[in-house]
Amino acid sequence: MSAPATIVDVRGVDVELGGRRILTDVNFSVRSGDFTGLIGSNGAGKTTLLRLMLGLVQPTQGEVVWPSHAREQRRVGYVPQKVALDVDVPLRVRDFVALGDDGHRYGLRRRTPDTWRRVHDVLDAVEASDLAERRIGALSGGELQRVLMAHALVSAPELLLLDEPLANLDPGATEDIVSLLARVREREHVAILLSAHDINSLLGVMDRVVYIANAHVASGPTDEVVRPDVLSKLYGHHVDVVRVHGRFLVVTGTTSQEPVAEHPDLVVE
Ligand SMILES: Nc1ncnc2c1ncn2[C@@H]1O[C@H](COP(=O)(O)OP(=O)(O)O)[C@@H](O)[C@H]1O
Ligand SMILES: [Mg+2]
């Protein structure tokens, strides 16, 4: 079997924001069909890395290469972490999802029966068909999240970027979204790169990890990255990795600036 095609290659990238180095010499690639977890604590640079891939942040060094496509043909869907929505906006879910198909590949165009078929199809893929006629402002957080995924999927992207879709979800809802994404990946043949601060909820579905700490990235198959030697090198100090009941406990130790109670990598059940 031939190796999956590379969708995007991040090569030797540095990013500075506000005069501060946020990312240093970041290298990784995403291949067709991969489910990748982008893991790091708050402020590690996850959102910055996603925005870099979207071309919304420019690197000071290195480049982001999409080997098979010219810029205007890139097929990338994005579900940002925060979406500001006017609760009074008189827009139905199906019209909002259809908007995801504008501009990217075809420019503005009129809705055709094909558009509506596709809208129906992606709402079905995210198990939100029953929401089609609802007003966008009247959705619950969980419903809105599915609709945002449909919006990002309607143009049939080959890569779907999701920024912390599991933040603020209870364990049951987290499991539901993770298994939904696993089904979406199969059905839509889409690679997924999803940022999260806890690696454990993704262990059942993720093939690869891009782990950010200390402005650096380690990437590869999960078992090759989430190891004491690799993470100690990444953090620049000793890190323990313990596997308890099938979950990872990454103990990064403390410094005077990093009280342990506030360190999100320290996952204690
Ligand atoms: N526009 C900006 N200007 C200056 N600093 C920024 C900007 N955006 C993000 N940062 C800083 O970059 C770091 C990484 O932020 P971010 O990518 O949002 O992290 P994460 O998504 O992992 O929580 C943080 O320290 C944040 O304060
Ligand atoms: Mg973020």
pLDDT at 166 over 90: yes
Q: Is 191 helix (H, G, I), strand (E, B) or coil?
A: strand
For a pocket test of ligand 1, which of 48, 79, 210 has the largest count of ligand atoms closer than 8 A to its C-beta? 48
Tokens (6 digits) for 162: 């999701």
Stretch 201-229: mean pLDDT = 95
Choose the residue to mutate in 20, 79, 217 for probing ligand 1, maximizing ligand atoms within 8 Å of C-beta.
20
Range in 106-110, 122-126, 199-203 the model is least confident about: 106-110
- Residue located nearest, by CA, to atom 14 of ligand 1: 45
Which pLDDT score, from 0 to 100, does residue 70 have?
62
Residue 184 has pLDDT above 90, yes or no: yes
Burial 105-130 (b: 16+ CB within 10 A, else e): eeeeeeeeeebeebbebbbebbebee
pTM of the model: 0.90
**Cβ of 183: how many Cβ atoms within 10 Å?**
13
The pLDDT of residue 252: 83
> What is the pLDDT, as a whole number, of residue 245?
85
| Domains of the chain: residue spans and CATH | 1-75+157-236 (3.40.50.300), 83-156 (no CATH)
d(Cα 36, Cα 220) in Å, to the nearest integer? Answer: 9
Alpha-carbon span 174 to 80, nearest angstrom? 17
Q: How far, in Å, is the centroid of ligand 2 from the Cα of 47?
A: 4
49 CA: nearest ligand 1 atom: 17
Averaged pLDDT, 214-226: 95
State the average pLDDT for the chain.
Answer: 88
Q: Which residues sit with their C-beta closer than 6 Å to ligand 1?
A: 17-18, 22, 40, 42-48
Q: What are phi and psi of 233, to 5 degrees?
A: -65, -40
What is the CA 37 to chain-centroid distance, rounded?
7
**Main-chain dihedrals φ then ψ at residue 135, nearest 5 degrees:** -75, 140
pLDDT at position 84, please?
A: 80
Q: Is the pLDDT reported for residue 260 higher than 90? A: no
- What is the pLDDT averaged over residues 71-93? 84
Mean pLDDT of 24-40: 96
171-188 and 141-153 helices cross at what angle (nearest 10)? 20
Which residues have CB atoms below 5 A from the ion given as ligand 2? 46-47
What single DSSP character describes residue 212?
E
Ligand 1 atom nearest residue 51's Cα: 17
> Which region, left, alpha or beta, applies to residue 91 given φ > 0 means left and ψ of -120 to 50 means alpha?
beta
Confidence class of residue 25 from pLDDT cuts 50, 70 and 90?
very high
User: Which pLDDT score, from 0 to 100, does residue 113 have?
Assistant: 85
What's the pLDDT tens digit per position in 199-212?
Answer: 999 999 999 999 99
The closest-lying atom of ligand 1 relative to the alpha carbon of residue 18 is 4
| Nearest CA residue ID for atom 10, ligand 1 | 17
Structural contact between residues 101 and 115, judged by C-beta atoms closer than 8 angstroms: yes
Q: Which residues, including other chains, have CB under 8 Å from residue 257's CB and lie 6 or more apart?
A: none
